[in-house]
Amino acid sequence: METFGLGPDLTVRVLYSAAGVATTVAVESRGGFLLLDCGDGALRDLLDAGLKPARLEGVAISHGHFDHVGGLHTLLGFLRMIGREAALPVAYPAGCVEAEAFLDRFFELYPDAPFPVERLPLGDGDESRLGRWTLRAHAVEHRGSTAAGVGDSIPALGYRAELGGKVVAFSGDTGPCANLRKICAGADLALIEATLGDREPRLDPRVHLSRGEAEGYGRLAKRFGLIHGIHPAEWGD
């Protein structure tokens, strides 16, 4: 877990981030916290970090790939178990069928859930509120890739989350694109995917950033951190 302090009232924790495994980032203030992506194990990672799920103010999903949204069902189930009643805002790219399906299926299975989800499908340039946070979305370029090759472009967003004059930028998964400059420029902290080191095999540039590319965008912010690297186990036979 990597932690970034942004003054006495704001902490950003990269709870876990590895390409093809999971990404979950918590942006925490004294009044609660916001999740940027909700990968597999998100609930366990929150609890291990001492973050109380009852204080969750909202979730912003960057795109529908399993390693960024796979922990949502478990998180919702836990909130149901502890009796959350306040609405939970969940932002995601408009047209993200995975996020919609997760939410649809959860409430079909558990219509007795005591809290509603405020669905916030966002497009390029849209702004919304998640609890106390102001969230601005910017479209980025991302495609899935498997052993079968590179797929079509999917709905994908990067975000700028603002609270108390501090801005945390989050690239989501993306290849190089003009909107990354808008996402990172002037942010107090930018978290940028750098899936491949510069010495590793280059994927299609519409899929992910290299370390060098990510650092170039990161220098537009006051501070930056690189996330979403390849897990060593992914280079096995």
CATH label of the domain that carries residue 128: 3.60.15.10
pLDDT bin (cut points 50, 70, 90) of residue 198 is: low
Mean pLDDT is lowest, of 110-114, 116-120, 172-176, 194-198, for: 194-198
For the chain, give the percent of residues with pLDDT over 70: 92
The reply to whether 237 falls in a domain is no
Residue 54: count of CB within 10 angstroms of its CB: 12
The reply to whether 54 falls in a domain is yes
Range of the domain at 112: 2-146+153-232
Residue 127: count of CB within 10 angstroms of its CB: 11
Number of domains into which the chain is organized? 1
Residue 25 and residue 56 in contact, taking contact as beta carbons nearer than 8 Å: no
3-state secondary structure at position 2: strand
Mean pLDDT is lowest, of 17-26, 71-80, 134-143, 192-201, for: 192-201
Residue-wise pLDDT tens digits, 212-225: 999 999 999 999 99
The reply to whether 188 falls in a domain is yes
The reply to whether 224 falls in a domain is yes
pLDDT, residue 61, reads: 98
